[in-house]
Amino acid sequence: MKLVKRSSGASDPGAEEPQQQEKGGRKPVIVYIMILFIVAFILMGVSFIMHQRSNNEAIGKLENSVSTLQQVQSAEDKNLQLQQQLDEANSSNEDLKKQLSDAQDEASAAEKQAKAMLGLYTLQQEYAAQDYDGCKSTIASMEKDGLDKLLPADAQDGVTSPAQRYLQLREAVSAK
């Protein structure tokens, strides 16, 4: 509450001056406070923008990391798939090598049996030509190479087997 001086009607010049100073003194303080608030808001806005930029950069780096990890995962999956294919190919290769080895063994056995049959045919031709010395050398060669044991022992009905025919020719040549 203000006390008002009762006076004769003239106003006291000293009393008006403090009121004007008070009003004039408040104005610069209010302006100063407003400027400080405005600067504070501007600084907060700048800080917010800088944080947003920093966050965007961090998010960009994280997205790059995620995409890189996805690429690595994809490469690892492809690598595993290729490894499985390689294992299957190696397994198939081993099977094929075994089949080849078996086929070569069969071919070798068939070749030896064909050679034995050729030796029997030669022996029969020499015996028919009465070349007994040639027969003896053919028999010795066949026995040395073990071809006499490779001759088939089975034959069709009514036909003498190659093994049996060889024994017959050997006995006939030995007798002469």
Q: What is the pLDDT of residues 64-117, one digit of tens each?
A: 999 999 999 999 999 999 999 999 999 999 999 999 999 999 999 889 889 988
pLDDT, averaged across the chain? 85
118: number of Cβ within 10 Å? 12
Here the tokens at position 5 are 């001086």
Q: CA-to-CA distance for 169 and 128, rounded, in angstroms?
A: 10
Containing domain of residue 142, as a range?
18-175
pLDDT at 87: 94
> Is residue 148 domain-resident?
yes
Asked if the structure places residue 5 within a domain, the reply is no
Run of H or E including 21: helix 13-128
CA distance 63 to 55: 12
Q: What is the pLDDT of residue 22?
A: 53
* Closest among 148, 130, 129, 150 to 139, alpha carbons compared: 148
Asked whether residue 11 is domain-assigned, the answer is: no
Q: Return the pLDDT at 9.
A: 52
* Predicted confidence band of residue 3 (pLDDT cuts 50, 70, 90): low
pLDDT at 160: 83
Query: How far is it, in rounded angstroms, from Cα 153 to Cα 167?
Result: 11
12 within a domain of the structure (yes/no): no
Other C-beta atoms lying within 10 Å of the C-beta of residue 116:
22
More confident residue, 52 or 123: 52
Whether 74 is covered by a domain: the verdict is: yes
Q: Is 142 exposed, middle or buried (0-12, 13-18, 19+ CB in 10 A)?
A: buried
Per-residue model confidence (pLDDT) at position 65 = 93
Q: Considering the domain boundaries, does residue 40 fall inside one?
A: yes
Residue 25 is predicted with a pLDDT of: 56
- Separation CA 128–CA 93 (nearest Å): 51
Q: What is the pTM of this model?
A: 0.51
Q: Is residue 62 part of a domain?
A: yes
**115 within a domain of the structure (yes/no):** yes
Does residue 163 contact residue 151 with C-beta atoms inside 8 Å? yes
51 has a pLDDT exceeding 80: yes
25-29, 97-101, 133-137: segment of lowest average pLDDT: 25-29
With cut-offs at 50, 70 and 90, classify the pLDDT of residue 4: low
- Predicted confidence at residue 2, as pLDDT, reads 55
Domain count for the chain: 1
Please say if the pLDDT value at position 17 is more than 60.
no
> 148 near 166, Cβ under 8 Å?
yes
The percentage of residues in the chain with a pLDDT greater than 90, rounded to a whole number, is 50
